[in-house]
Amino acid sequence: MRPKVTVVGAGNVGATCAERVAEKGYADVVLVDIVEGLPQGKALDLLQSGPIVGFDTSVTGSNSYEATDHSDIVVITSGVARKPGMSRDDLLLTNKKIVQAVTESVVRVSPDCIIIVVTNPLDAMTQLALHASRFPKHRVMGQSGVLDSARFRTFVAAEMGVSVHDVYACVLGGHGDTMVLLPRYSTVGGVPITELLPKSTIDRLVARTVNGGGEIVALLKTGSAFYAPGAAAAQMVDAMLMDRKKILPCATLLEGEYGMTGLVVGVPVRLGRKGVEQVIELKLTAEESAALRRSGDAVKELLSVMKLN
C-alpha cells in the first residue's frame, strides 16, 4: 500500500503541492476543501494528467476528513488572505479558527500523521497546530525557509549566471519581514557568496528575498505566489516520505537551541521519516543572534494576540 498524503485547502498552493506530490508517483493524494466540488474537480483534473506525465497514483478530492484517514503526512494550506479593511489581528484570529479546526479534524482521523503548516502567518500557525494537535514537536513543522531560501538561490544564481543547483542559501527566523538571511553561510559551489559578490549586491538580493512574496503580489494584483510555495511543501513531503535525511530550513519548536525555548522559529533541520529528526544549530555573530531574537519577538507578539503564550 502506498503512503497517503493529504493536502487541506484546494486553492492554488494546495493544488500545486498535490500536483508535485502526485507526480512523484510514490504516494496517494487526497485534496480536502470546504467548497463543494472544488477538491473533487481539481483532483479529477490532476488524475487525468497521470497518463501524460507518467504517474498512476490515486488522486481524490473530498469535503470530508473521513477520506483522509490514516494519512502519513498532512499539509495544511487552508486560510484566508488579508482583505481590504481587515487588520493584521483580524487576519490572525480568522486563520487561527481555521487552522485550529483543521488540525483537530486531522488528528481525529490520522493520529499518527506528520503535519506541515503552510498557512500564514506561518510561524504562529505552526505553533497553533502544535498546540491543538498535542503531537510531539518532531511531527509538526512549518514551510517557510524552504521557500525563502529558494527565492534567494534564484536571485543569486541569476546574478552570477550559474545553475541554481550550485547555490545553497541559509535562512533563519520568521517567514516575512523579520527573516534572517545569512550570506556567510550561503554558498556557490561551496564558496561563501561573501567572497564572490560585493556587499551592496548581497544586500540588494537579501532585500529582494525578504520582499519576495510582496513583489509577486504587486505583479499579480489579484493573487499571491503559489508555484514555489506548493513546490516547497512538496519537497518537505518528499524528504520525509523517502527518509532522505535532507537538511532544510523549517519552522520548528525550539527547546533551548539558539537561546530560545517554547517558540516556533525557522531554523535548519534534518528531515527524515520521523519528521524533524535534528535541529542544526549554527554559530551566529552577535548581530545575527540579535536579528534572530527580533524575529522571535515578532512571533511572540502574534502568539500573545492568539492567547497562546
User: Is 131 assigned a catalytic role?
Assistant: no
- H-state helical runs in 134-177: 145-160
The residue type at 101: A
Q: Which domains does the chain have, with CATH numbers?
A: 4-143 (3.40.50.720), 145-305 (3.90.110.10)
In tens, the pLDDT along 94-108 reads: 999 999 999 999 999
How far apart, in whole angstroms, are the C-alpha atoms of residue 258 and residue 265? 10
For residue 11, the Cα-to-chain-centroid distance in whole angstroms is: 15
**Cβ-based burial of 246 (10 A; exposed 0-12, middle 13-18, buried ≥19):** middle
pLDDT score, position 90: 82
Q: Would you say residue 123 has pLDDT above 80? A: yes
pLDDT score, position 176: 81
Q: What is the pTM of this model?
A: 0.96
Average pLDDT of every residue of the chain = 95
In tens, the pLDDT along 251-304 reads: 999 999 999 999 999 999 999 999 999 999 999 999 999 999 999 999 999 999
Q: Would you say residue 15 has pLDDT above 80? A: yes
* pLDDT band at 80; cut points 50, 70, 90: confident
pLDDT score, position 91: 82
Q: What is the mean pLDDT of residues 202-211?
A: 97
Percentage of the chain exceeding pLDDT 90: 90
Check 70, 131, 138, 175 and give the catalytic one: 175
Q: Would you say residue 124 has pLDDT above 80? A: yes
Decide: helix, strand or coil at residue 123: helix
